[in-house]
Amino acid sequence: MRDPRYDILFEPVRIGPVTTKNRFFQVPHCNGMGHAMPLAHAAMREVKAEGGWGVISTEECEIHPSSDLTPYVEARLWDDRDIPALALMCDKVHAHGALAALELSHNGPTASNLYSREVLLAPSHQPSKYGYPAQARAMDLHDIAEYRRWHREAAVRGMKAGMDIIYVYAAHDLSLPMHFLQRRRNQRSDAYGGSLENRIRLLREVLQDTREAVGHRCAVALRFATEELLGPGGVELAEAQDIVGMLAELPDLWDVNLAAWYNDSVPSRFAREGAQEPFIDFVRKATTKPVVGVGRFTSPDTMVSQIRRGVIDLIGAARPSIADPYLPRKIEEGRIDDIRECIGCNICVSGDMTISPIRCTQNPSMGEEWRKGWHPERIAPKASEARVLVVGGGPAGLEAARALGQRGYEVHLADARRELGGRVTREARLPGLAEWARVRDWRLGQIGKLANVSTYLDSALTAQDVLDFGADHVVIATGCHWRRDGFGRSHGLGIADFADNARVFTPDDLMDGRWPEGRVVVYDDDYFYTASVVAEALRLRGCEVTYLTPDDTIASWSANTLDYRHIQWRMAELGVVQRVSHLVTGYTGTTLALEHAWSAAASSLECDAVVVVTARLPDDALYQALKAREPEWTDAGIRSVACIGDALAPGLIAHAVYAGHRYAQELDARRDGEVPFKRHFHHDPTRT
Ligand code: ADP
Ligand code: SF4
């Protein structure tokens, strides 16, 4: 049962006219499903309500065609026809005793209007934020009145959908009330520009409008950024303190955080649990209204400390609720070690960024609640008495073994190494990635509770071992390794001088303890996190490091996980030299021959070693050997052999966990030849 130390987390909190049953508050988060996939969206939110969150929020919700966020798929309340999609969510959230919250937003110059083709709106004339080749126009007083009307009407629609809390949004550099606040976006000389009182006028008005429109039924929340870390052009802490003082009692709830999003949802590599505290802790002292804040909180002790020390009243969470929708319930039931802690990898964010349904490294059911019927806690019991042998205990093998074990199968998990976790164990030792070990630790904790799962370390299995073992089903999850030959996106024929060169290292060499010294070039044709982590590690070991890439910037894909800017800052801080848009054409062991990606100009770079981060190859020798002996399977009692995760196709840790989970879900249940998930066909494209 619940530890009394955590009782405080389960106290109800009054928020204006509504009361939340506890202090667990799922703050707004994007999910890539939004208005396009309302059934999937509602089912995802429902699982969190079922898991005990007291408040469940939507993502940003567009209020008008001039706030169109295309191609991003968020919520939408342009007119009454958008109400039913959000009512779906409200009904499901209410069914579990939780409150539903709606984050209304009109992003002005940070919208796109790519679908609606409306002209972007802004406090003053200015470029659109995301580099679209059109400017936003300055709003006149009529536009401001219209915007206020749209916001009021959207609030009423939200109330009709069943929302209990309506947000006014002034955070993340993403909404007009915030844009009017920012000196860099507001050069007006009328009553809405200039002095701070003038710059907060719109925010004050919209808060009052919302209260008048829906305040009798709904709480009015203000999501407010206290610091943008941009200096005087942005909202700064000192000014934010004045603003909170001026508006202290106007909203029913303060939801406070840092802007922009990359400073708010910071990856664990760059920020620890509770890192926002110094920027938001003043708010609680300036208002009598409840305050919610975020900090990737997964530890109930940290949560209690935040409340007891008067930092916040409500534990805000996006990522921890994605990684574990049942986090509150687990605390309530005294099952602390069952909490599936977020690792701070931000793969969830990449769903929104790539306009695809949200996925999570830790929680493979995220985004699959409706379309595949997956649940983060429940899984169908086994459909046969099969014994399953899982070879390889990385994220794929661990998750397969865990979920198969949960289904009740007799599971045997063997790994060649003396420790489980595969790549997660190895990568978590690199600078900044320690929390990634949670992928392993949660699974080991769960497996430890399952009597039907046996694990074998130090057990490098051969095809003969597998045939002798006597399993009905065999899962090969033996991982992959980094290539040494330079093959990758930019070098389809590899780099001739790399393959057998003792001065060429791979990330695996480093993780195995074989480190280069002196002047080292990290050659990145992979574009995500690995090269920058390697560069950081080498720098910390005293090497002179050049980050070289054929791409036009370093770590380009990491923009999708909000790592990019932090990586740039870290590389600058560490003195890692960058050389972009260059290909390697040869290496003597002391001199790299380079070619400029666009001009083809030749140049050279002296170095003592190269770490090559280009592509990986599956370690699938065991799988191939077993395939070659398929005629012997029947005699060995083997009914199937599958290859999953990095051993099938190298990918993210998220892909490996997903592959392991999918294997377990589909054992004895796979239906080949069908689309493996439900799709939305709610739109009849022939109707207007
Ligand atoms: P994934 O990301 O797909 O889970 P990893 O590389 O993280 O892959 O994990 C693969 C694991 O498989 C490693 O721990 C490795 O030691 C183990 N392994 C590889 N080959 C064998 C084998 N023949 N027998 C047992 N374990 C193996
Ligand atoms: Fe946390 Fe990563 Fe899951 Fe996002 S994807 S919730 S950061 S574990």
- Per-residue 3-state assignment (H helix, E strand, C coil) for 254-268: EEEEECCHHHHCCCC
**215 CB under 6 A from ligand 1?**
no
Residue 83 has pLDDT above 80, yes or no: yes
pLDDT for res 171: 97
pLDDT for res 661: 98
Closest ligand 2 atom, residue 363 Cα: 3
Residue 130 has pLDDT above 90, yes or no: no
pLDDT for res 682: 61
Tens of pLDDT, residue by residue over 269-321, are 999 999 999 999 999 999 999 999 999 999 999 999 999 999 999 999 999 99
DSSP per-residue string spanning 481-510: EE-SS--SSS-TT--TTTTT-TTEE-HHHH
The SS3 call for residue 125 is coil
**DSSP secondary-structure letter at 189?**
-
Whether the Cβ atoms of residue 538 and residue 515 lie closer than 8 Å to each other: yes
Whether the Cβ atoms of residue 452 and residue 409 lie closer than 8 Å to each other: yes
Catalytic annotation on 326? no
Q: Whose CA is nearest to atom 20 of ligand 1?
A: 478
The residue to mutate among 31, 342, 353, 658, having the most atoms of ligand 2 within 8 angstroms of its beta carbon, is 342
Proximal ligand: closest to the CA of 482: 1
132-161 average pLDDT score: 97
- Ligand 1 centroid – CA 391 distance (Å): 7
Residue 463 has pLDDT above 90, yes or no: yes
Q: Whose CA is nearest to atom 5 of ligand 2?
A: 360
Residue with tokens 């030299």: 577
Q: Whose CA is nearest to atom 6 of ligand 2?
A: 319
Residue 185 to residue 653: CA distance in whole angstroms:
40
Proximal ligand: closest to the CA of 392: 1
Whether the Cβ atoms of residue 535 and residue 555 lie closer than 8 Å to each other: no
Nearest to 617 by CA among 477, 475, 482, 422: 482
Tens of pLDDT, residue by residue over 596-605, are 999 999 999 9
Residue 570, H or E segment = helix 564-574
Q: Which residue in 29, 35, 151, 172 is the catalytic one?
A: 172
pLDDT for res 685: 62
Length of the chain (residues): 688
The SS3 call for residue 302 is helix
Proximal ligand: closest to the CA of 359: 2
5-11 average pLDDT score: 98
**650 CB under 6 A from ligand 1?**
no
Tens of pLDDT, residue by residue over 58-72, are 999 999 999 999 999
Tens of pLDDT, residue by residue over 391-406, are 999 999 999 999 999 9
Structure tokens at 315: 């534990």
Q: How many CB atoms lie within 10 A of CB 627?
A: 14
**620 CB under 6 A from ligand 1?**
no
39-51 average pLDDT score: 98
- Ligand 2 centroid – CA 544 distance (Å): 33
Q: 131 or 244, which is more confident? A: 244
563-578 average pLDDT score: 98
- Ligand 2 centroid – CA 358 distance (Å): 10
Q: Which residue in 147, 169, 192, 529 is the catalytic one?
A: 169
**Residue 346, phi-psi category: left (phi > 0), alpha (psi -120 to 50), beta (remainder):** left
Query: Between 237-247 and 201-214, two packed helices, what is the crossing angle to 10 degrees?
Result: 40
**621 CB under 6 A from ligand 1?**
no
pLDDT for res 174: 95
- Ligand 2 centroid – CA 438 distance (Å): 11
Closest ligand 2 atom, residue 347 Cα: 5
Closest ligand 2 atom, residue 346 Cα: 7
**460 CB under 6 A from ligand 1?**
yes
**128 CB under 6 A from ligand 2?**
no
Tell me the pLDDT band of 166, cut-offs 50, 70 and 90: very high
- Ligand 2 centroid – CA 395 distance (Å): 14
Sheet bearing 591-596, strands edge to edge? 582-587, 591-596, 602-606
- Ligand 2 centroid – CA 660 distance (Å): 17
pLDDT for res 296: 98
Whether the Cβ atoms of residue 527 and residue 559 lie closer than 8 Å to each other: no
Residue with tokens 């830790």: 362
Q: Whose CA is nearest to atom 2 of ligand 2?
A: 345
Catalytic annotation on 41? no
Tens of pLDDT, residue by residue over 520-553, are 999 999 999 999 999 999 999 999 999 999 999 9
Residue 431 to residue 418: CA distance in whole angstroms:
22
Closest ligand 1 atom, residue 420 Cα: 14
What percentage of the chain has pLDDT greater than the value 70? 99
**653 CB under 6 A from ligand 2?**
no
Q: Which residue in 30, 218, 342, 348 is the catalytic one?
A: 30
Proximal ligand: closest to the CA of 363: 2
Catalytic annotation on 169? yes
Residue 273 to residue 76: CA distance in whole angstroms:
32
Domains of the chain: 4-353 (3.20.20.70), 387-479+619-666 (3.40.50.720), 483-616 (3.50.50.60)
- Ligand 2 centroid – CA 396 distance (Å): 16
Helix, strand, coil content of the chain in percent (nearest 5):
35, 20, 45
pTM (two decimals): 0.98
**Residue 468, phi-psi category: left (phi > 0), alpha (psi -120 to 50), beta (remainder):** alpha
Closest ligand 1 atom, residue 645 Cα: 3
Structure tokens at 588: 């003597």
pLDDT for res 132: 86
**348 CB under 6 A from ligand 2?**
yes
Closest ligand 2 atom, residue 359 Cα: 5
Residue 588 to residue 569: CA distance in whole angstroms:
32
Structure tokens at 386: 């099969």
Catalytic annotation on 172? yes
**461 CB under 6 A from ligand 1?**
yes
**367 CB under 6 A from ligand 2?**
no
- Ligand 1 centroid – CA 212 distance (Å): 60
Residue 424 has pLDDT above 70, yes or no: yes
- Ligand 2 centroid – CA 471 distance (Å): 34
Residue 278 to residue 273: CA distance in whole angstroms:
12
pLDDT for res 670: 81
Nearest to 446 by CA among 533, 379, 388, 524: 379
* Cα 73 to Cα 69, 104, 384, distances in angstroms: 7, 14, 41
**30 CB under 6 A from ligand 2?**
no
Whether the Cβ atoms of residue 224 and residue 255 lie closer than 8 Å to each other: yes
**478 CB under 6 A from ligand 1?**
yes
- Ligand 1 centroid – CA 476 distance (Å): 8
Residue 536 Cα to chain centre, angstroms: 23
- Ligand 2 centroid – CA 383 distance (Å): 31
- Ligand 2 centroid – CA 533 distance (Å): 19
Whether the Cβ atoms of residue 298 and residue 274 lie closer than 8 Å to each other: no
The residue to mutate among 322, 340, 363, 433, having the most atoms of ligand 2 within 8 angstroms of its beta carbon, is 322
Q: Which residue in 164, 264, 313, 352 is the catalytic one?
A: 264
Contacts of 129 (CB under 8 A, 6+ apart): 109, 110, 173
**389 CB under 6 A from ligand 1?**
no
Tens of pLDDT, residue by residue over 186-243, are 999 999 999 999 999 999 999 999 999 999 999 999 999 999 999 999 999 999 999 9
Residue 123 to residue 127: CA distance in whole angstroms:
12
Tens of pLDDT, residue by residue over 501-514, are 999 999 999 999 99
pLDDT for res 671: 80
Tell me the pLDDT band of 681, cut-offs 50, 70 and 90: confident
pLDDT for res 686: 67
Closest ligand 2 atom, residue 349 Cα: 4
Tell me the pLDDT band of 673, cut-offs 50, 70 and 90: confident
Nearest to 227 by CA among 269, 189, 194, 266: 266
**584 CB under 6 A from ligand 1?**
no
**DSSP secondary-structure letter at 218?**
S
